[in-house]
Structure 1
């Protein structure tokens, strides 16, 4: 397996756990700071399509920006996927983390069972 892309916010406790999990299981990865090198709208759209998840799963719903910008209401009002990805691309703090991108899969959030199935 080629190295996976690991998008993280290093201060995030869940990202720290995920990083330790990757290291403990000898998973080869390239780390990318989700705020300093925020994903583009094009990347997010591709990952969304590859993941098979609803676009709202890519939002950090517990984040301050999510609440300040009233993103839930925008999504509930019928925001299109392209618009949602453009919004996510504006600020890495809006994006759920960690994200792992492999050749044929995308994992959003840290769920050990899911990660074991896809990465081991």
Structure 2
């Protein structure tokens, strides 16, 4: 089952979800703020994300990221520390996040969605 992590107030998340639903593709929609992925889930997601590094999962434009001063701290954090931080607050995760059996897409670009959903 494809999982779609979203923030309901995000217009890009709504566009991405509509795009997938309009194609008739089944989707498990998860509110990433109310139910952020666990550390275990994030490690699994990151392991599928061949085209992303762990730092790419951070919502660097978000208020929480800036308030925590993470721009200066990320370089000194371990992988496990980053996973723990991401799982602690869904607002830290780049959104939307589409997770299929074999791939991950951060953000919404039609061509990227088509590539992973048509496998």
TM range (shorter): over 0.9
d(CA) in 2 for partners of 1:13 and 1:42?
A: 28
**Is residue 2:44 matched to residue 1:82?**
no
| C-alpha distance in 2 between matches for 1:43 and 1:81 | 14
1:48-87 mapped onto 2 (5 Å cutoff): 48-52=46-50, 53-76=52-75, 78-87=76-85
CA contact (8 A) 1:8 1:32 kept: yes
2:17 corresponds in structure 1 to: 19
Unaligned runs of 5+ in 2: none
- The residue that corresponds to 2:91 in the other structure is 93
Which of 5, 28, 35 is the equivalent residue of 1:30?
Answer: 28
TM-score scaled to structure 1, two decimals?
A: 0.92
Kindly indicate whether the alpha-carbon contact (under 8 Å) linking 1:45 and 1:81 is maintained by their aligned counterparts in 2: no
Q: CA shift at 1:102, angstroms?
A: 1.1
- Partner of 1:6: helix, strand, or coil? strand
Aligned residues, how many?
Answer: 117
Structure 1 spans left out of the alignment, 5+ residues? none
C-alpha distance in structure 1 between counterparts of 2:58 and 2:34, whole Å: 17
TM norm structure 2: 0.93
Query: Does 58-67 or 103-112 show the bigger shift?
Result: 103-112
CA contact (8 A) 1:97 1:108 kept: yes
Instruction: Extract structure 1 runs of 4+ deviating beyond 2 A.
Output: none
